[in-house]
A and B are shown apart, each in its own frame.
Chain A
Amino acid sequence: MSGAPRADNSQQHDPPAAAGNGGRFVFRARVFDADELRRAHTRIAHEIIERNHGAADLVLVGLYTRGVAIARRLADVISGFESVDVPVGALDVAFYRDDIALRAVQPLGPTEVPVDVSGRVVVLVDDVLFTGRTVRAALDALTELGRPRAVQLAVLVDRGHRELPIRADYVGKNLPTNEGDDVRVRLAETDEEPDGVELWSQEGAP
């Protein structure tokens, strides 16, 4: 009951700004298959350790829903080659979003960060970086929990179209997209489907 993440609605995170004009989505391209996704996790995990000179003081904080699963995978990879257990947290940003009262913003699960973030390096983890508004909300949510020494951002896919001055420190893949496209991330833990990332476009889009 408590602590269990709710069923994900993939439109909860930054819905495509141009969506809603009734276009049907058609498959465009496979961005990652399961093996490529695993390699991207491995590379990002190594980059995090390299940049921070080890795993001391690190906390991986995933954004609901898929960011949490990705953060756990990164922690597993790190413990495999560094022999340390990096704490993993889950952050819900619903109450910090700037579009509450413009649409129904429902929390996806309770925030659970197992350690005090003050003085540590927090790596926020999400599946897709788009407008940057989710990350903006996450920075506010994180500030309420303490004062990290530094905050970094890891994402599987950066699809562009930022509306705020935010960039990722670790990126699985930079993917040029149209604003109305849908980047579909599927993870075994959250979607009951095989791992993979696909790009879908609205019918008739260039």
Chain B
Amino acid sequence: MTGMKHLLSIADLERNDLEDLLELSESFREVTQRDIPKVPALRGKVVVSLFYEDSTRTRISFETAAKRLSCDVMAFSVSSSSVQKGESLRDTVQTIEAMGIDAVVVRHSAAGAPNRVASWIDASVINAGDGCHEHPTQALLDLLTLRRHLGASLDGARVAIVGDIAHSRVARSGALAFAALGADVTLVAPPTLLPSTVAGWPVTVSHDLDELIPELDVIYLLRIQRERQGAVLFPSLREYTARYGLTVERASRLRKDALVMHPGPMNRGVEIAAEVAEGPASVITEQVTNGVAVRMAVLYTLLGTGAPVV
């Protein structure tokens, strides 16, 4: 764990790396609950958020995390930058790095963009979502949320990830992370929303949500990403909801202690009914709260260990 320089994908991490980050996150959860939720740990470090895609929670969450560690935060907004004049990603990050920064948080529509950035600069790089590839801090905050409810080990927990798997970096990072901690992960989607690479994932696949519902410890709903779909992959939103949405009726067949998760933003009434999202089984707002703590843990691990960086 010490010596970790970038956080690019969950696939790079071992089970004990994940557990170390989650333990550290518990300490930061306590910090975030104080009257003054701030520690001086990373004074003088500069963190840049470089978002080529829109985001509310991830961006604010990272910036909050960095500020609570006493980092200086620079926010880069594509729409008001020289990207509009045609500046390339490489020139942009090298320009930013020349100002003296310690970490850059990258969101980009192209899978692998954060890995390229990491190869160009000396600062630490954190993947905040790259195309349909990975979103590692989302998986970490989901793990923290699950652990706080199910206990430190997820061994044998039945988790279903439901929805647009093919376009979802959340699904890939989440499936890898849940499985790494011992959960039994099932992807549930119509065949058109499954990625072609799913054979290599540590999961089983199902097309029938109703059959699984009574056995689940956790149901994780993904957003139907209308902005990423070039083609029509299911007949209609209404039909999608009828077969794969967590309706009030379906939710009533979940076990009493089952948890309902969603990475947000939600399409209420499509993948999840509004009543279910706000119901007692939902841990959706906890996920957001935990996001700040895990991002503090990631920043502290990358910037605060003092390990010689390679």
Chain A residues in the interface with B (C-beta under 8 A):
1-2, 6, 92, 94-96, 99-107, 109-112, 140, 144-145
Contacts and interface: CB of A to CB of B under 8 A. Distances in A.
Contacts of A102: 306
Contacts of B38: 144
B272 interface: no
B42 A100 contact: yes
Given A96-B39, A110-B26, A110-B29, 20 more contacts: A1-B151, A92-B27, A95-B31, A95-B69, A95-B300, A96-B41, A100-B41, A100-B306, A101-B305, A103-B305, A103-B306, A105-B304, A105-B305, A105-B306, A106-B24, A107-B24, A111-B30, A112-B30, A144-B39, A145-B34
Nearest to A145: B34
Chain B interface extent, by class: 20 to 34
Given A1-B147, A144-B39, A104 B306 contact: yes
Contacts, number: 59
A147 to B, nearest CB: 12
B226 interface: no
Contacts of B42: 100
B85 interface: no
B2 interface: yes
B40 interface: yes
Interface string B33-62: 010101111100000000000000000000
Contacts of B148: 1-2
Contacts of A101: 303-306
A44 B147 CA distance: 40
A102 B300 CA distance: 13
B237 interface: no
25 contacts: A1-B26, A1-B152, A2-B26, A94-B27, A95-B40, A95-B300, A96-B39, A100-B41, A100-B42, A101-B305, A102-B306, A103-B306, A104-B2, A104-B305, A105-B304, A107-B27, A110-B26, A110-B30, A111-B27, A111-B30, A112-B30, A140-B40, A144-B36, A144-B38, A145-B34
Across the A-B interface, the 9 shortest Cβ-Cβ residue pairs:
A95-B39, A95-B41, A110-B30, A107-B27, A104-B305, A104-B2, A101-B306, A1-B152, A103-B306
Contacts of A1: 26, 147-148, 151-152
B307 interface: yes
Nearest to A144: B36
